[in-house]
Amino acid sequence: MDSKSVILVTGANGQLGQALKKNSHTQNPIIYTDTISFDITDKAQMIGVFEEVRPTVLINTAAYTQVDQAETETELAFKLNEDGVKNLSELCVKFNCALIHISTDYVFDGKQSSPYKETDTPNPVTVYGKSKRAGEQSIFDSGLKNFAIIRTSWLYSEFGHNFYKTILRLAETKTELKVVNDQRGCPTNANELAKALLVVASKISAENSGIYHYCNEGETTWYGFAKAIFENHRHSVKVEAVSSSEFPTAARRPAYSVLDTTKIKKVFDIEIPSWKVALEKM
């Protein structure tokens, strides 16, 4: 990383933001901002921060992430995930700052049965997925030359709200749990993603700008993930595999959302652990 690099992180109190704080060991200054200090919907405030901090790389983890609630809070989801990202990319153009933006496997409809590549056509079927895809598009529309859109999936960690923490909490009071076994994806330890983002931040350039997929290697179902979590914790709770129809949700989840990570590994020389190894690191 250039000795003059200054990284600005948005959404620092979120799951990935906290994972970035924990895993950043660079000599370069990293400025962590939250909703109060850097609201991505408040352009005037954002300009003030850009003028003061003069970031060279911005890592945007801020987002509207309530997948089911988004079905009824459409306006708010788009305000953050599209308009907020538009604000960020326009300011990155103006201040000559690279943008690393986090997107999602939910930009795909889940009809594929082999891992999604960056070249596969997005077709989001939920409001959340559509708003995240609109955010990706706003980066392209801004004309920004230095950017990486990093799509990830099934994030978990010791921070924030996620499946890993929820299932362990449920197991404290229950002896049997039902978990869906008909959605395939790849759990991704947010700490591993955070380390990869910092590598990308140190190497991002106009030449390697574009969309990238990052998830831990391999694939499983939520049932498979739950079983592995309990095995790791030597927990004896009984897990029953059920169909998604037993847990209707406002937003339909993609049946298959495994991401192909070949491109990010090659371009940024990143090693990605399997989801089982990444889980053992928890």
Ligand X SMILES: NC(=O)c1ccc[n+]([C@@H]2O[C@H](COP(=O)([O-])OP(=O)(O)OC[C@H]3O[C@@H](n4cnc5c(N)ncnc54)[C@H](OP(=O)(O)O)[C@@H]3O)[C@@H](O)[C@H]2O)c1
Give catalytic residue positions: 128
3-state secondary structure of 92: helix
What sign results for the dihedral spanned by CA atoms 26, 40, 101, 87? negative
Residue 17 binds to ligand X (criterion: CB under 6 A): yes
Return the number of other C-beta atoms located less than 10 Å from residue 238's C-beta: 11
Contact stretch for ligand X (CB under 6 A) within 70-78, 113-121, 148-156, 257-265: 148-156
Return the number of other C-beta atoms located less than 10 Å from residue 13's C-beta: 16
Minimum distance from residue 211 beta carbon to ligand X (Å)? 13
Contact 78, 60 (CB under 8 A): no
Residue 15 binds to ligand X (criterion: CB under 6 A): yes
CA distance 174 to 278: 26
Return the number of other C-beta atoms located less than 10 Å from residue 183's C-beta: 18
Q: Which of 14, 55, 129, 185 binds ligand X (CB under 6 A)?
A: 14
Which of positions 64-103 make contact with ligand X (CB under 6 A)? 65, 80, 84, 102
Helices (H), 34-162: 43-53, 74-78, 85-94, 127-142
Minimum distance from residue 177 beta carbon to ligand X (Å)? 19
CA distance 110 to 166: 24
Minimum distance from residue 209 beta carbon to ligand X (Å)? 18
- Nearer to ligand X (CB atom), residue 83 or residue 268: 83
- Nearer to ligand X (CB atom), residue 156 or residue 230: 156
CA distance 120 to 117: 5
Q: Please enumerate, as own/partner, the contacts of 24-28 that have beta carbons within 8 Å and a separation of 24 or more.
A: 24/194, 24/198, 26/1, 26/198, 26/202, 27/3, 28/1, 28/2, 28/3
Residue 215 binds to ligand X (criterion: CB under 6 A): no
What sign results for the dihedral spanned by CA atoms 6, 153, 165, 82? positive
- Nearer to ligand X (CB atom), residue 152 or residue 181: 152
Residue 221 binds to ligand X (criterion: CB under 6 A): no
Contact stretch for ligand X (CB under 6 A) within 13-21, 47-55, 138-146, 235-243: 13-21
Residue 35 binds to ligand X (criterion: CB under 6 A): yes
Which of positions 152-191 make contact with ligand X (CB under 6 A)? 152-155, 160
Contact stretch for ligand X (CB under 6 A) within 47-55, 69-77, 149-157, 223-231: 149-157
Residue 55 binds to ligand X (criterion: CB under 6 A): no
Residue nearest to ligand X (CB): 14
Contact stretch for ligand X (CB under 6 A) within 23-31, 43-51, 56-64, 108-116: 56-64
CA distance 22 to 30: 12
Residue 13 binds to ligand X (criterion: CB under 6 A): yes
Residue 131 binds to ligand X (criterion: CB under 6 A): no
Residue 80 makes CB contacts below 8 A (sequence gap 6+) with: 40, 41, 62, 63, 64, 131
Contact 90, 44 (CB under 8 A): no
Contact stretch for ligand X (CB under 6 A) within 12-20, 140-148, 174-182, 243-251: 12-20
Q: Which residues bind ligand X (CB under 6 A)?
A: 10-11, 13-17, 34-35, 38-41, 61-63, 65, 80, 84, 102, 104, 132, 152-155, 160
